[in-house]
Amino acid sequence: MIAITANNFYDLTKFKHTIHRDSVFRNIEVLDFSYVPDKLYMRNDIINSLIYSFRRILTDNNSSTNCLITGLPGSGKTTIARYFAKHFRQSALESIPDFHIEFFNCLRFRRNDTIVAHLSKKYCHSSGKGYASEEFWIILLKKLIYSKKYLFIILDNIDYLPRKDLLQLLCLSESFGHQNVRISFLFISRSKQWDYYKNQDINQRIYDLIKIKPYSFKEAYTILKDKCELAFKENVISEDLIAQLAQIVSERKNMRYGIKYLRKLGIYVDKHEIEKISFEMLNEIPKEFYFEYSEALENLKEHELLTFYSIITILSNPKITTTEPIYIEYQNVCKKFKKKPHVIMVLRRHIRSLAKFNLVKTEVIGSPRKGRYNEISLSYDPSGIKKEVEMFLNQKLG
C-alpha cells in the first residue's frame, strides 16, 4: 500500500517563495527566439543590401518591389528581417505616414486565402469571404491608393506556401503596374528548402536574392556576449564559457544552439539556487534538445541520409539492430533511389556521423577478445518521421 503523507503535496508557501526567488536573469526575454535586438551585430552588409533593395519605395513614388533572404536555420534570417522592417518603417514614416508592416509565418498561414482573410479584416473591414483571392487584391490595392497607406509584408518560411500562391503575389505589380501596388514583399526561406521549391517562373520574378552565411566563431562570440550582458546579471557567466558556446554555434552553423544553451543554463542555476554558471553544467543539462532532427537532416550528406532512412525502416519493428541488417537494407534503399552503395566500412562511418547528430544511438557490445559489434537504436518512434525523411531524400536526390 502506498502511504500518503503530507510530503506528497506541494507546499504552497514554497510555491510562492520559488516564484519570487532571486534569479540570475536580468531580462530573460533577450533569449526568446522572437526577440528583436536593439543592436544587430555582424550583419551590416545584409542590412545595407536590404536598404538598397527597398529604398525605391521611398524614392520612386512608393512603388512596389520584393526581395528574398535565404540561409541555413539559425543564421538570423527572421531576426534580420524584423530588425530591418522596424527601422525602415521609422524612416518611411517621414514620407508615408501610414506605413504598415505585416509579418506572416507561412508555417501558420499556409495559403493566400488565410493571408487575404487577415489583411481583409484589418484594411478592408471585411472578412474577405466570398471574394476570389484575385478580386480581393484589386479591392485592397484600390483601398491602399485611396487611403495613401503602404504595406511592407514579410513572408517567413515562404516555401510552405503553394507555388501558385506565391506566383500570384509576385505577379501583382505585373498585373496592375508598379505604381498601383503599394505593397512590397520581403520573403524568407531556408536555403535548402528554397533550392527545392523555386522554379523558373518564381525565380524570374524575385528582384533581389540575399544569401546569408552562418556565423563564424568570432561573430557568434560577439553576439552571445552581448546577449549575456543583457540577459544575465553581472558575473553570472564567464567569457570562457561564452567562447565554448560560440564554438558550438559555429560548428553547428546555427545560432539557436547558443541561445538555447544560455536559456537552459540560466534556468538550471536558478533551479539549483546557484548564482553562477560553471563549465561543468554544460554536461549537466539535458542533451535531448540537441535532437532537432529536421535541422540535423539538412546537414546530412547523401549517403548518410540513405543510411538513416535504412535504419528507420528496419527499426519500425525491432527496437535494436546491428550493422549487417542495416547494410542489406541500405543496398535496397540505394537501388530504390538509383545510387551506387558504399562498402560496409564506409557505411559504419555514416552510422557514426548519424550518432554525432544524435539521430541514432550506438553502443559497442562485447569484449576485444570475444569480438565486438555495434548495437544501433533510436530514442524515438521512427514511424512518425519516415515520411519526412523520404521527402528530404527526394529533395536531395530528385
Ligand X SMILES: Nc1ncnc2c1ncn2[C@@H]1O[C@H](COP(=O)(O)OP(=O)(O)OP(=O)(O)O)[C@@H](O)[C@H]1O
List interacting residues with ligand X (CB under 6 A): 33, 35, 37, 40-43, 71, 73-79, 190, 223, 255-256, 259
Among 78, 112, 313, 321, binds Mg ion (CB under 5 A): 78
Asked if residues 246 and 258 have their Cβ atoms less than 8 Å apart, the reply is yes
Chosen from ligand X, Mg ion, none, partner binding at 256 (C-beta under 5 to 8 Å by type): ligand X
Contact, 194 vs 210, CB < 8 A? Answer: no
The CB-of-391 to ligand X minimum distance in angstroms stands at 17
Cα–chain center distance at 64? 28
189 near Mg ion, rule: CB under 5 A = no
Q: Choose the one of ligand X, Mg ion, none that binds residue 33, judging by a C-beta under 5 to 8 angstroms depending on kind.
A: ligand X
Min dist CB 45 to ligand X, Å, is 12
3 state DSSP class of 211: strand
Q: What is the dihedral of CA 150, 156, 160, 161, to 10 degrees?
A: 10
Binding track, positions 212-251, relative to Mg ion; x by CB under 5 A: ----------------------------------------
Give the one entry of Mg ion, ligand X, none that residue 253 binds, where binding means its C-beta sits below a cut-off of 5 to 8 angstroms depending on kind.
none
- Closer residue to ligand X (CB): 220 or 378: 220
How many residues interact with Mg ion (rule CB under 5 A)? 1
The closest of 183, 206, 14 to 101, measured between CA atoms, is 183
CB of 389 to ligand X, least distance (A): 19
Distance of alpha carbon 222 from alpha carbon 233, whole angstroms = 18
Cell of residue 273, nine digits? 539556487
Grid cell listed for 164: 501558385
DSSP characters for 10-59? Answer: --HHHHHHHHHS--SBS-GGGGSTT---SS--S-HHHHHHHHHHHTHHHH
Q: Given the rule CB under 5 A, which of 72-80, 213-221, 311-319, 346-354 is the region that contacts Mg ion? A: 72-80
Instruction: Name the segment binding Mg ion (CB under 5 A); options: 73-81, 92-100, 125-133, 248-256.
Output: 73-81
In angstroms, what is the minimal distance from the CB of 76 to Mg ion?
8
Which H or E element spans position 190? strand 183-190
- The C-alpha atoms of residue 210 and residue 216 are separated, in whole angstroms, by 18
| Amino acid in the structure at residue 230 | L
Which of Mg ion, ligand X, none binds 373 (CB below 5-8 Å, type-dependent)?
A: none
Q: Amino acid identity, residue 279? A: F
Q: How far is the CB of 27 from Mg ion (least distance, A)?
A: 22
Measured from the CB atom, is 40 or 378 closer to ligand X?
A: 40
249 contact choice in Mg ion, ligand X, none (CB below 5 to 8 Å, kind-dependent): none
Give the nearer residue to Mg ion in terms of CB position, either 40 or 354. 40
